[in-house]
Amino acid sequence: MCHRISWNGSQVEAGKRDLETINKEIPIMPRLKRTIVDRILVFRAAWRELAPDQAFAGMTLAEFEAATAPPIALREEIVALEKQLEGKKTARSMADQEAANVLELVVNSVRGTPGHGPDGELYRAFGYVRKSERRTGLTRKRASPDAAENVVDADAA
């Protein structure tokens, strides 16, 4: 049995034993990894186009479409839920900001209330450092010999 294969306008006649030669001559595109949804859509389109009235695996096209609908419907539902999740995260961020503003108002009120103030126990219990516990923050850095040389070099230039 002979096969006629046309590639780029040239005819190649081959028997079964020459199949390896043909496969070497005809470049084959690498098979793409498709998702199940892509495969379902390809099957549906091909079936609809080429054999819409035939039954395969005991199913008509309509039955096949019904049998393969759940993965597509679930993916659409997941996308909708992800959008809802994004909306809830945005709402959470806005609620957090409003709560932070209320916390700031309360701590500022505690600072300004006589009997509590910035040195009181309540201020400390809120997680702040009391005024009497604060250090000055002043640090005196020693001049390193390298730093002194850099100053002299900068003046010389």
Please check whether residue 62 is in contact with residue 52, taking contact to mean a CB–CB distance below 8 angstroms.
no
Amino acid at 57: A
The pLDDT of residue 8 is 46
Please check whether residue 37 is in contact with residue 48, taking contact to mean a CB–CB distance below 8 angstroms. Answer: no
**What confidence score (pLDDT) does residue 155 get?**
52
pLDDT at 152: 54
User: What are 152's two structure tokens?
Assistant: 């002299």
- Residues of the chain scoring pLDDT < 70: 1-33, 145-157
pLDDT of residue 17: 44
* φ/ψ (deg, to 5) at 101: -65, -40
Q: What is the pLDDT of residue 29?
A: 58
Would you state the pLDDT for residue 10? 46
Quick one: pLDDT at residue 15? 46
